Amino acid sequence: MKTRDLPWAIVNHRKLVSLIFLLAFLICLPLQALVSVNYDMMSYLPPDAPSTKAINVMKAEFTSEIPNTRVLLHTTRIADIMNAKKEIAGVDGVHDIIWLDDTVNVYQPLEMIDEKTKEPFLKDGYALLQMVVDENKDESAITAIQNIVAQDKYGGKDNEVSGDVVDSLNTLNSSADEVSQIMLFAIPLVLLILIITTRSFFEPVLFLITAGFAIIINLGTNIFLGEISFVTSIATAILQLATAMDYSVFLLHRFSEFREQGMDVQNAMVNAMRKSFASVTSSGLTTVIGFAALMIMQFKIGVDLGFVLAKGIVFSLLCSLVLLPAMTCFLHKLIEKTHHRSFLPSFRGFGKAAVKLGVPMFILIALIAVPSFLAQSRTEFTYGMPDTANPSAMTDELFNKSESVVLLVPKGNSPAEAELSRDLSQQPFVNSVISYANTVSNKIPPAFLDSSIQNQFYSEHYSRIIMSVNTGREGEAAFNAVETMRNLANDYYPPPTSAEFNKVTNPNSLEYQLLGSPVNIYDMRSVVSVDNQNVTLISVIGIALILLVMFKSLLLPIILLLTIEIAIWVNMSIPYFGDQAFMFIGFILVSSVQLGATVDYAILFANRYIENRATLQKREACIETISNTAASIMTSGVILALAGAILSMISSNPIIGELGVLIGRGALFSMTMVFVFLPSALILLDKPIQKLTMGLHFINTSNKEEK
C-alpha cells in the first residue's frame, strides 16, 4: 500500500485498528507492575569511574561493606550501648557494626580515652553506632532496628535511625504513593484545560484515552528493561502526558477546521491527517531527539530516562496518528452531540498587539539573551540527594553529618599503612581512622590474631582503612577532602608503572581504591559536567537536522532553535540570579526536555506562517498565524506547565521537585517566546527566509507594508 493511502486505510479499518491498540493496552497494563525500580543514584555511575572500580574491588576482596546506616542512642551508659549493639547485631540483615569498642577498651574510665578518638562515637550524652544493612533485607531490618532503639532504656523517642538505606526506603515508600497522586491531580486539571480549549466535551475524553493508551503501553514495555530508575518511574507518565498531548490537539484542531468547511467525517479526517502529518511527526521526532540525547550521558540515569521517554513519544505518535483518527471516525457523533461554544477568544487582537510590539520586544529579548546565557552557565549545582531529603537532625548536629569512607591500599607495606593512617587522622575533616596499624598494631603479625579480626582489615590483596569524615556527602569541603585523601594515598602508593604491571597477575592490587558517598558524588560531578555539554550539543544538532529536512531552509532552523534556546537560558539563569543551588541531574534533564518538548510550538507556528504567507502579507500572516495556533500552543504549554507544577508540589523527592519547577517554568517561557519573539523574527527576516528556503512561495510584499 502506498504511503498516500495510509490515512484512508486507517479510517476504513478503524475498528480493527482500535482492537489492536486495545489488546496492546490490556497486555501492558499488568506488566507495568512487574518492572522493578532502582532507588540508588550511585549505581548509575559509569563502570570506569574510580569510585565504581573501587566498589567492585571492595566487593571482590572483602565480605563486609561500607556502613550505610547510623543509629543514634540517647545514652552514655556503656552497658546499655553494648546491649543495644548486641541486639541490633542479632537482626537479620545487619552486620559489621562499628562503635568505640572496636577501637579502644571502653571499660576503662572514659576520661582516659583520647577526645578525638572518642568524639566520633560518644558526644554530649549520645552514642553513635554505624553498621551495614543488606539491601535485600533493608525494610525488615530497619523496622527491627527502630523497634529496638525505641525502648526507653536506650533513649526512646530521642533516638534516630538514618543513613543511605533509610533514605532509599523513604524514597521508595513515598514514590509509590506519589505516582498515583500526581496522575490523580493531573488528569482532572488536564481535562478542564482541554474542555476550555476545545469545542466539544467529548474531545478531551478522546485525548486522554489516546494518551492513556500510549502511557500504559510505554510503561508495560519497560518489562524488557528489567528495571528503571525512580526518576523515570515517577516522571515518565506525567511528562509523556504533557509533552505528547499537543500531537492529538494539533490533529483534532485541523479535523474541526475541515468539518467546519463542510467536509464529511472521513474526508475531514484524511485531510487533517495529511495536513497535520508534517507538523506532528517533525514535532514528535524533535522530542524523541531531545530525549534520546540523554542516552549519550555517561551517568546512566540519563540513558534510562532518555530511552523510556523517547520510547513513550514514539508510542504517543502512533496513538495520535493511528488510534485517535480511528476512534474519532466511529465516535464522531458523540463529539458533535457534546459540541459547545468556544470558551476562548479569537486571539486576533492578541496577534495584532504581538505584531505591533514586535520590534521593541525583539530588542528587549535580544538584550536579555546574552546575560541569561552567561548566568545559566554559572549556576551552582548539587549532585547527590540533598541531606534535607530525609533529615536526621540530631545525628547531623552532634556528629557533623559524618560519612564513612574506605581506603583500600596494597597489602604488604605495614610501615606505609601506619604512616598513612597517622597522616589521615591528622586531617581536620577526619573524625576517626580505623586500620590494623593504628587499632591492633603493625608490630603484631595478623597470623597471630583470630581470622574474624584479620578479615576486618586484610584481604588477599588489600589492607583496609575505614574513616569517618565530617564533611557531609557533598560540597566544596567534601570534594576537597576527597582530593586530599587521594593525594595522600597517591604519595604512599603511587600508580604502578607499565613494568610493574607486567610483573603481577592482578594489576588492581597495585593501586589504592577510595570509596564512599562523598567519593561517589565527587565522581558524579566530574561525569555530569561533561554530560551537560554533550547532551546539549547532540540535541541541538539532531533537532536542527530534522528542521533542516522538514523546512528545506538554512535560516528557519536557526530561528526556531534560537527561540526555544533563549527561553531555556532565561529559565536556567533564574537559580543564578536567585542565588540558588539546583540539582545538576534536574538541570541537565530539563535542558533536553524543554528543547525537545517545546520546539513543537515553534514548528507549528512556522508551518502555519508559511501556509498563511502564501496568500497574506508578512504582518497579516503573523496575526493570522497567532490566531490559528494560539489555542493549540496554549493548550499544550499550559498542560506542560501544569505537569511541572504538580510534580514540584506533590513529590517529596528533591530531584523530582526541582525537575517539576524547571519544566513548568520552562514551558511558560517557551510559549511566551513563540508568541512574542518568533513573529518578530519571522517579519524582520522575511526576505532572507525566502532566499534561504527551497520551494518557498510567499506573496510579494507590498510597498505599503514595507514602509
Distance CA 105, CA 446 (A): 20
pLDDT at residue 704, as a whole number: 47
Q: Is the pLDDT of residue 507 over 50?
A: no
Residue 64 and residue 456 in contact, taking contact as beta carbons nearer than 8 Å: yes
Please, which pLDDT band fits residue 252 given cuts at 50, 70 and 90?
confident
Q: Is the pLDDT of residue 79 over 70?
A: yes
The b-or-e profile of 4-18 (16+ CB within 10 A means b, else e) is eebbeebbeebeebb
Counting other chains too, the contacts that 40-44 makes at CB distance below 8 Å and 24 or more residues apart are: 40/168, 41/229, 41/301, 41/384, 41/385, 41/524, 41/585, 42/384, 42/517, 42/520, 42/521, 42/524, 44/229, 44/299, 44/300, 44/301, 44/304
Q: Is the pLDDT of residue 498 over 80?
A: no
At 659, list the grid cell.
Answer: 525537575
pLDDT at residue 389, as a whole number: 45
Q: Is the pLDDT of residue 391 over 60?
A: no
Report the range of poorest mean pLDDT among 361-375, 437-451, 489-503: 437-451
Average pLDDT over residues 366-370: 91
At 107, list the grid cell.
Answer: 571499660
Report the range of poorest mean pLDDT among 207-221, 428-442, 530-544, 651-665: 428-442
| Positive/negative CA dihedral, 255, 258, 264, 270 | negative
Please, is 701 exposed, middle or buried when counting C-beta atoms within 10 Å of its C-beta (0-12, 13-18, 19+)?
middle
Please, which pLDDT band fits residue 444 given cuts at 50, 70 and 90?
low
pLDDT at residue 417, as a whole number: 87
At 356, list the grid cell.
Answer: 505591533
Q: What is the 3-state secondary structure (H, E, C) of 446-491?
A: HHHCCHHHHHHHECCCEEEEEEEECCCCCCHHHHHHHHHHHHHHHH
Please, is 449 exposed, middle or buried when counting C-beta atoms within 10 Å of its C-beta (0-12, 13-18, 19+)?
middle
Q: What is the 3-state secondary structure (H, E, C) of 331-353?
A: HHHHHHHCECCCCCCCCHHHHHH
Distance CA 206, CA 497 (A): 67
Distance of CA 504 to CAs 326, 496, 498, 507, Å? Answer: 68, 11, 11, 6
Q: What is the pLDDT of residues 258-279, one digit of tens each?
A: 888 888 888 999 998 988 887 7
